[in-house]
Amino acid sequence: MIITLKSGINKKQVDNITKSIKKFGLTPHVSHGAVKTIIGVIGANEHKHKQQLESLEGVETVTPILKPYKMVSREFKKDNTVIDIKGVKLGGQQVVVFAGPCSVDTRENLMTCAREVKKSGAHILRGGAFKPRTSPYAFQGHGETALKYLAEARKLTGLPVVTEVMDTRQVEIVCKYADILQIGARNGQNFDLLREVGQSKKPVMLKRGMANTIEEWLMSAEYIVAKGNRNVFFCERGIRTFETATRFTMDINAIPTIKHLSHLPVIIDPSHGVGVRDYIGSIALAGIAAGADGVMVEVHPKPTEALSDGPQALLPVMFDSLMNEMRKVALAVGRTI
């Protein structure tokens, strides 16, 4: 940790600051420059006392040296974590494809969709039962009924199922039906929920909050891992920027950044990240080329009947064609689908 002091500080003030540092059980190393005095505090539990040190009279800035996350970091675990989802290996050589409707609507549409994406080669079925909607007047998801349909679709196709859990009180029931718990973008810093899924045994897909830095996102994963659940993976789904031509701005940079900083898998969700049907294929391919361990795509057999996000859903035939393109790009970067 490097503490920069304000210009024109006198010896007595510096002494006061070093005394306070020692009171926190830390060891200060003072260096007087021509213009600035700085204090190095090495090897300490830096982040714990950062704000208290910043509050000291005469302190200008406090710059931590160590990263604030631990168990999710590449330094903590050098090798890639591979998560086993009922036999599907995420984080290894294979690029894993998640597909299905944004929200579960009719039983029939879900079964059709599940059969179609399975046939095209998808590995995981997605579908929303509890839906976070901007408007209280919009469709909020079919809840447990939808969970039951998902379980039925899994039985039908053998595809493991991922679905969102929005509230701590839903964790139990979602665990009963789903193979992966999804934490949505709007709950990316719902810390009680993170702790709760950290106590479950199910793999967790952690979507990036739309205003969260990569560091904050890693910290949210740390919440889950710190509670004992090591089967966490990231899903980049776009961040909020000034651009309005697309629904969000897909942060493709996050893919190599996460792979560099963490041992956990990361997938990409082009459906939300770009939000325009015609552009989704390009972004899915870009994600694989950038090193993503998986891709999640919204597919719906009848988009105009969809109860949410129809405009960004691919028809099964489009998805099938995209699968072929994704296979080629995966091969080009030394992976398979």
Contact set for its own copies, span 268-307 (CB under 8 A): 273-274, 276, 278-279, 282-283, 285-291, 303-306
For residues 214-253, which are near its own copies according to CB under 8 A? Answer: 214-216, 219, 222-223, 226-227, 239-246, 249-253
Residue closer to its own copies, measured from CB, 317 or 331:
331
Task: Please identify which residue in 109, 120, 190, 229 interacts with its own copies, judged by CB under 8 A.
Answer: 190
Pairing of strands 232-236, 204-207: parallel
Residue closer to its own copies, measured from CB, 216 or 320:
216
Closest CA to 150 of 116, 186, 187, 179: 179
Residue closer to its own copies, measured from CB, 159 or 250:
250
Which of these segments, 82-90, 115-123, 172-180, 324-332, binds its own copies (CB under 8 A)?
A: 324-332
CB 217 within 8 A of CB 73: no
Residue 137: count of CB within 10 angstroms of its CB: 7
- Minimum Å distance from CB 66 to its own copies? 6
CB 130 within 8 A of CB 143: yes
Task: Please identify which residue in 310, 314, 319, 337 interacts with its own copies, judged by CB under 8 A.
Answer: 310
Interaction of residue 311 with its own copies, rule CB under 8 A = yes
Tokens (6 digits) for 272: 């939300």
For residues 93-152, which are near its own copies according to CB under 8 A? Answer: 132-138, 140
Task: Please identify which residue in 15, 19, 22, 42 interacts with its own copies, judged by CB under 8 A.
Answer: 42
Interaction of residue 80 with its own copies, rule CB under 8 A = no
CA pair distance 71, 160, nearest whole angstrom: 27
CB 244 within 8 A of CB 252: no
Task: Please identify which residue in 11, 34, 87, 201 interacts with its own copies, judged by CB under 8 A.
Answer: 34
Measured in residues, the chain has a length of 337
Residue closer to its own copies, measured from CB, 52 or 93:
52
Which of these segments, 24-32, 85-93, 105-113, 143-151, binds its own copies (CB under 8 A)?
A: 24-32
Which of these segments, 64-72, 87-95, 110-118, 119-127, binds its own copies (CB under 8 A)?
A: 64-72
Task: Please identify which residue in 19, 22, 63, 172 interacts with its own copies, judged by CB under 8 A.
Answer: 63
Dihedral class, residue 106 (left if φ above 0, else alpha if ψ from -120 to 50, else beta)? beta
Residue 240: count of CB within 10 angstroms of its CB: 12
Interaction of residue 172 with its own copies, rule CB under 8 A = no
For residue 281, CA distances in Å to 118, 295, 334 come to: 18, 11, 20
Interaction of residue 19 with its own copies, rule CB under 8 A = no
Closest CA to 100 of 287, 322, 324, 316: 316
Task: Please identify which residue in 19, 22, 55, 93 interacts with its own copies, judged by CB under 8 A.
Answer: 55
Interaction of residue 35 with its own copies, rule CB under 8 A = yes
Q: Find the radius of gyration of the CA atoms of the chain.
A: 23
Residue closer to its own copies, measured from CB, 86 or 168:
168
CA 4, 5, 7, 12 torsion: positive or negative?
Answer: negative
Q: Which residues pair with 12 in a beta bridge?
A: none
Q: Which residues pair with 314 in a beta bridge?
A: 299
- Minimum Å distance from CB 109 to its own copies? 13
